[in-house]
Amino acid sequence: MELKRKPADDTRIKVGKKSGSVMTLPLIIWLVCFVLVPLLLIGWYGITVENPDGSMSVSFENFKRFADPIYLNPLLRSAKIATITTVVCIALGYPVAYILARSTAKWTNIVMMLILMPMWINFMLRIYSWASLLEGNGIINSLLVSLGFEKQQFMYTEGVVVLGTIYNFLPFMIMPIQNVLLKLDNSLLEAAADLGASPVRRFFKITLPYSVPGIISGVAMVFVPSVTTFVISQRLGGNKVPLIGNIIESQFGMAGDWNFGSTVSLIVMAIVLAFMFAINKTDRAEVNGRGLTL
């Protein structure tokens, strides 16, 4: 008996594609209205200048203006603070993520709730809370005076800005690393132990290499917002620790120079995109070249 293959239902395929297109339409509209259009406006303002008669003309003068140290120094300071924040978040977040991945579900849920609970509070309120702790007449200085010590100047320093960024972005380092470590096959560790590998050797040869994708994701999630933040430096650092985010905010706000603000935004965006491209390339190379050697 000859078996005949049933023809595919072209009608069902067409209907499925049509319904899928309809479902993605709201997302497309959202991306066009709130991502593409703003980017095009920033791009247009960034490469133009306003003439005395109010008209706009294409010019790259604002890019030359950005070469002034008054604008380059905040950019370098932002990169420095973001790098320090990222390194400290790795140093603090990796052990926490490792312990959580090896703990029972009960304790993991409790600790994760404590880590994420501050994220439920408004961002500005968290910053103002730190200010109330560290300011001249704040809680910490009041405690020092009651103990017989002199008041300390915590506010308006680069160190307190770093503290604020670490506090706000540390959870974004812990979560991706923990998610990767939870997927680590324990049989690999058991096999390595059977072959005589010490706990330290198992960590550096198995656990750490397999957690690199989580570390890379955490670096991207911490470095990018750290380098572009302005609220933390504005409230905790005052005018003494200006970052590139403060420059952009002031150009769109007090200065009212949207053209130069857009130019600075384009430069920072290009730097962030280059960083993300390098991170993504490193992540792919790590996944493709990952191996197990004891």
Q: What is d(CA 164, CA 133) in angstroms, rounded to the nearest whole number?
A: 12
Q: Which pLDDT belongs to residue 7?
A: 53
Nearest CA among 166, 292, 287, 280 for reference residue 229? 166
Instruction: Give the domain ranges of the chain.
Output: 72-288
Residue 13's pLDDT band (boundaries 50, 70, 90)? low
- Which residues on neighbouring strands pair with residue 58, listed in sequence order? 48
Question: Which CATH number is 72-288's, of 3.90.980.10, 1.10.3720.10, 1.10.357.10, 1.10.10.10?
Answer: 1.10.3720.10
Tell me which amino acid residue 290 is.
R
Is the pLDDT at 4 greater than 60? The verdict is no
Q: For 190-216, how does the pLDDT look when each residue is reduced to its tens digit (9 = 90+)?
A: 899 988 889 999 999 999 999 999 999
Residue 99: is it exposed, middle or buried by C-beta count within 10 angstroms (0-12/13-18/19+)? middle
Q: For 53-88, how does the pLDDT look when each residue is reduced to its tens digit (9 = 90+)?
A: 888 899 999 999 999 999 999 999 999 999 999 999
Report the residue count for the chain: 294
Q: Which pLDDT belongs to residue 16?
A: 56
Q: For 119-159, how does the pLDDT look when each residue is reduced to its tens digit (9 = 90+)?
A: 888 898 999 999 999 988 889 999 999 999 888 888 999 99
Q: Which pLDDT belongs to residue 291?
A: 53
Q: What is the pTM of this model?
A: 0.85
Is the pLDDT at 5 greater than 90? The verdict is no
